[in-house]
Amino acid sequence: MNGKAQALFDPSGDWVALVTQDWRYRMVVPGPGQYSGIPLNLAAKQFADNWKAADYTAAGKACAAYGAPALMMAPTRLRISWQDDNTLRVETDAGQQTRLLHFRDPAPGAASLQGDSKAQWLAPPLVMNFGGGGGPSAAPAPKYGVLRVSTNNLQAGLLRKNGVPYSDKTILQEDWMLNSLPGAGEYLTISAIIKDPEYLRADYYVAPVFVRESDASKWQPAPCTLTAAR
Amino acid sequence: MHGVSINTQNRRHADSGIKWRRGGLLAAVVCLMLQTSWARAEVDLSGTYAAVQGEDTQIRTEGPDFADYTGIPLSDEARAAALSYTPSTISEVDRQCVPYKIHYLLQAFWGFRVWATTDPISGKVVAWNYSGTTDRQPTTIWMDGRKPPADTALATPGGFTSGVWKGNTLVATTTHLQDGLLTRNGVPASDKEVVTMFLTRVDNVLTITGVIQDPVFLTAPYVLTNVFSALPNQGFGSAIGASLPATCMPAEEVPSVLNGKVPSYLSPDLNPNLNTVSSLYNIPRESTLGGEQTMYPQHSDQIQSKYRPPAAYCTVSCCGAAMGLGNLGYAKQVLQCK
């Protein structure tokens, strides 16, 4: 079966970020030295302390803050669709980026801003109960679960628009979870672990949340920038 | 020979016993197979957890800045109440514990422990429990389908919580909460508040998505997350907070401060902290005072022309990362950032 047929939930549609946490670092460009929350090491701090947005912009690297490890924390809307039966396409209006989540091994290529993302569904395990009848095939198909996305082959980039870096050795692991609450909305939580042996001295955990929107009327594409939040 | 004969007889008896036992075992297996069903497993949440999320580190440690309501969908009434709040409020014995309702689990760096209460006859899980931490009450998530108390029942700091599994996510809903505070800087929470937490454990990582609904003080659901790491091979003390006393104990700490007065700012305009966040971080007041609009991306476009990053290097709450793991001391982390 392909990734679409095995889907434990359907993430396709329009989503908007709920920026209720880390507001000061996500909704505006943080000032110099505002590194709170990131377990950065001394090399990362020195990099960030000496970093200049103007230099990056002039070098054509304005999209460095929109790579996969930082993108889902941006104040953005998401448009998620099935590109084919084995590829989820995730577009952002902030920075106009596209992530492709592959349920088959992605073709090897050069390192990139969004890297190579391998996706798999994690269903609750099957267990045997005594009583009743039938075998594993009689078990009900799972309706809930987690979408695990593992991303590598990344170009170096920025975790924050004040220069906090991540290296090209970074590995991103995300668990995408869909939670519904009748009358209150449908929420997509992306629980992410960012591992960077070059610039982080511990794993960096973030869990941005998106709420489903009924249509794409508020979709507002904006180019990459290092001088504004989105 | 005689001995051999006895041995042979014994072997025959033994062989027949083995055959009988094999036959019985086979019958039992067949019987069990016919009686067996397969189901999706619930997740065993038991364990000790450390808070590891890197977001809102300042809010989870030192606490939020005064009059910083950015990203909170609070109502006008809630904002007025919040601006009348002064930290001296919690010097009043009867208000000391109000900041620590159940949603404090999502807003603090404390770890906690989870354990199951099982039915002694059936072995089924009757309830999941998680420990309180210094100020927050412990919580029991009833899994046995019991109905909540009547609407007129006593509201308590811990409230009443029931849970159901949806796949590998435990959905826990809490009602009957006493009124108190939503945030430690004075945003109020009413006794009509309903808190729904989605607890999903994958491998050793527990992610909690909390949806806070309050028809009195919020105009939209307030959604927060917190991430915890299970520590299967370490003791209780390895997660900060997981082994601390679990009850907020009011006490007369600084009686001379109040001298019989009820601390508050009678008018929001009299609040001397109204512009604290604006002066520290250049964030416009229309953002610092919060509201539903401030949690959506387009708000960043709306304030773009009014905001410039502070030119000066950070001096307040600059570093500090997730500090839930006991083996990564807070002081050590802060020092490493200097």
Q: Which two tokens stand for residue B112?
A: 């906690």
Q: Name the minimum distance, in Å, from the CA of A183 to any CA of chain B.
A: 10
Higher pLDDT, A133 or A169: A169
What is the pLDDT confidence band of residue B298, given thresholds at 50, 70 and 90? very high
Distance from CA of A207 to the nearest CA of B (A): 6
Q: What is the pLDDT of residues A1-21, one digit of tens each?
A: 899 999 999 999 999 999 999
DSSP state of A94: B
- Domain range annotation of chain B: 1-38, 42-251+260-338
Beta partners for residue A192, in sequence order: A174, A206
Residue for token pair 């802060």? B334
CATH superfamily of this structure's domain B42-251+260-338: Calycin beta-barrel core domain (2.40.128.20)
Kindly compute the dihedral angle of the four CA atoms of residues B95, B96, B102, B107, in this order, to the nearest 10 degrees: 120
Token digits of residue B215: 């028809």
- Chain A residue closest to B221 (CA)? A184
Ordered DSSP codes for B277-311? HHHHH---HHHHT--GGGGSTHHHHHTGGG----S
Query: What are the distances in angstroms from CA B33 to CA B18, B26, B39, B152?
Result: 22, 10, 14, 50
Q: What share of chain A is helix, strand, coil (3-state, %, to 5)?
A: 15, 35, 50
Per the CB < 8 A criterion, the answer to whether B305 and B269 are in contact is: no
Give the model's confidence band at B290: pLDDT under 50 very low, under 70 low, under 90 confident, else very high.
very high
* Pair type for strands A98-102 and A116-122: parallel
A23, B311: Cβ pair inside 8 Å? no
Tell me if chain A has a CB within 8 Å of the CB of B122: no
CA distance A140 to A120: 20
* CB proximity under 8 Å: A 127-186 to B: 127-136, 138-140, 142-146, 148, 162, 175, 177, 179, 181, 184-185
For chain B, percent of residues with pLDDT exceeding 70: 76
Instruction: Give the separation between CA B334 and CA A39, rounded to whole angstroms.
Output: 10
Please tell me which residue, B19 or B60, carries the higher pLDDT value.
B60
Distance from C-alpha of A166 to C-alpha of A111, rounded to nearest angstrom: 14
Best residue of B29, B193, B207 to probe chain A, by most A CBs closer than 10 Å: B207
Asked if residues B231 and B241 have their Cβ atoms less than 8 Å apart, the reply is no
In this prediction, residue B2 has a pLDDT band, given cuts at 50, 70 and 90, of very low
* Closest chain A residue to B277, measured at CA: A24
pLDDT digits (tens, 9 = 90+) for A97-123: 999 999 999 888 999 999 999 999 998
Classify domain A13-124+142-213 by CATH architecture: Beta Barrel (2.40)
Tokens of A31: 């000032």
Could you tell me which of A213, A147, A206 has the C-alpha nearest to residue B225?
A206
